[in-house]
Amino acid sequence: MTTHSVYRRAHMAVLLLLVCVLLVACGQTPQGQQGQPGQRGQVVVAWHTLSGAQEQVLLDLVDEFNRANPDGITVVPEHRAVDALHADVLAGIERKSLPALVLASPMQAAIYQQRGALAALNDYIADPAESVGWNAADRADLYPFILKAGRIPNGQIVGIPFGGIVRVMLFNRDWLKTLNLDDAPTDWEHFGASCNAATDHTKGTLCFGIQPTNITFEQFLAAYGGQVATDDMSVLQVSTPAAIASMNTLASFVRANQAYRVTTLRQSRDDFATARVLYSFDWSNGLLDVADSVKKRAEFDWGIGLLPGDGRKVTTKYSAPLWVMTRAPASPNPGREKAAWLFIRWLTSPAQTAHWSAQTNELPARLSAINILGAKQPLSPNQMTLLRDIAPLARPDPMVSGWRCIENTLTTSLRQILDGQLVTPTLQLTQAIGQPQLAQDCSEQ
């Protein structure tokens, strides 16, 4: 932890103490009690697990909000260890003592929702007041994943994603041009032909490397128009025709010795940067690292895209934590929830979300951030492709309590398939094992 971060946290603690003293001095009561009109003078405690550069950017944004907001709201961010936050929230639910905001994973948010600890955001989003809700122009400007990631089956929105990353496919454009392709193939026939041409065991070149995890499973499933669970998150969909076809396709590249397993993301990036593979799969926040590696090691033109869709609309995996708003205590200050919402809304405003994206290489919340980012520094073609073409296709992780169990089950299934087990019976067993896991609490696994 940097000295500056320690100072900032101490400063926040002192600020919270001073706010409480001032409230008492003015005859007002602290957060969570009655007596204050609206949201004015509220203290919004926000738990998070961010660290390093990400935490610093959040702290800078909080400082800006606290200085600039006209309602006297004071946000106090409190860091929790990754392995402690969930336990702290569960303990707070039991004690009926929670911070106003928590930055939690979708799986954690699902568990808190099941326990009745989260407040719905729909009324705030739909509020007609210009300073409160998101009007039609705002909703058109927000990336689709913003209003999808924290939505539960009954239509309520209980979380708003913050930043986030998507899975992309990297391709060596110069290499493709030697195969008479100007861009990444959009159908499996041409993709397969390019893999066949790129594979040369004498030269030591192959088509692509794969990490045998649930992430790869989900990425290939999405290319066949499938998704792990239904939209209402009640039914697992991993033995469907789309799932079977996608896993057969992936297995065929392995059997043909055109694809191979990689054990780390670094290995995958190194193989791509040294032109040992035609394609690679990575997270969007790693593009600058890839660009630097390519420039240093092989210097070729490259691009990003998604797997072929054969005419289908291909989506891609989106991963991000959610800002969730806890229910106020039994005797609530009526402005606590609104104050927390106003901070979420401010964070997802064009300037703030663009700042977060520029400093962390994560996705912004809004399409208009493209113009803001480009005004500060011209965006590369790959950045433009990411923000303009790929981000609108991002599919958030399901908000289900058993997601970690399902991830483990999918990883096991994929490894078995790559080891040579038959696809259909393996996926049927995966469906049988995974379906009851949807409703389990897998936070401790």
Q: CA-based diameter of the chain, in Å? A: 81
3-class state of residue 378 by DSSP: coil
**C-alpha span between 114 and 306 (Å, rounded):** 35
**C-alpha span between 379 and 381 (Å, rounded):** 7
For 378-407, the pLDDT digits (tens) are 999 999 999 999 999 999 999 999 999 999
Smallest CA-to-CA distance from 79 within 177, 2, 26, 193 is with 2
Residue range 208-229: mean pLDDT, rounded: 96
For 257-277, the pLDDT digits (tens) are 999 999 899 999 999 999 999
**One-letter amino acid of 111:** I
Residue 69 vs residue 339, higher pLDDT? 339
For 313-325, the pLDDT digits (tens) are 899 999 999 999 9
pLDDT of residue 240 exceeding 60, the answer is yes
Q: In sequence order, which ranges of 298-392 are alpha helices (DSSP H)?
A: 336-347, 350-360, 369-376, 381-385
* pLDDT score recorded for residue 41: 82
Residue range 348-371: mean pLDDT, rounded: 97
**C-alpha span between 67 and 156 (Å, rounded):** 32
Q: pTM higher than 0.85, yes or no?
A: yes
**C-alpha span between 405 and 431 (Å, rounded):** 12
Residue 421 vs residue 377, higher pLDDT? 421
pLDDT of residue 440 exceeding 70, the answer is yes
Six-digit token string for 83 = 């392995």
**One-letter amino acid of 115:** R
**Residue-wise burial string across 216-250, b where 16 or more C-beta atoms lie within 10 A, e elsewhere:** bbbbbbbbbbbbbbeeebeebbbbbebbbbbbbbb
**C-alpha span between 139 and 134 (Å, rounded):** 6
* pLDDT score recorded for residue 39: 64
Confidence of residue 37 (pLDDT cuts 50, 70, 90): very low
pLDDT of residue 205 exceeding 70, the answer is yes
Six-digit token string for 356 = 């977060």
Smallest CA-to-CA distance from 192 within 265, 268, 279 is with 279
**C-alpha span between 224 and 315 (Å, rounded):** 9
* pLDDT score recorded for residue 444: 75
* pLDDT score recorded for residue 17: 44
Half-sphere exposure of 175 (CA within 13 A, CB side): 27
Domains delineated in the chain: 3-29+36-164+320-395 (3.40.190.10), 165-318+400-439 (3.40.190.10)
CA distance readout (Å), 439 to 110, 118, 351: 10, 18, 38
Average pLDDT of the chain to the nearest whole number = 90
Residue-by-residue DSSP string for 8-52: HHHHHHHHHHHHHHHHHHTT---TTSS---TTTT-EEEEEE---H
**One-letter amino acid of 412:** T
Smallest CA-to-CA distance from 92 within 69, 76, 74, 108 is with 108
* pLDDT score recorded for residue 15: 47
* pLDDT score recorded for residue 331: 55
With a pLDDT cut of 70, the percent of the chain lying above it is: 89
Residue range 155-172: mean pLDDT, rounded: 97
Confidence of residue 7 (pLDDT cuts 50, 70, 90): very low
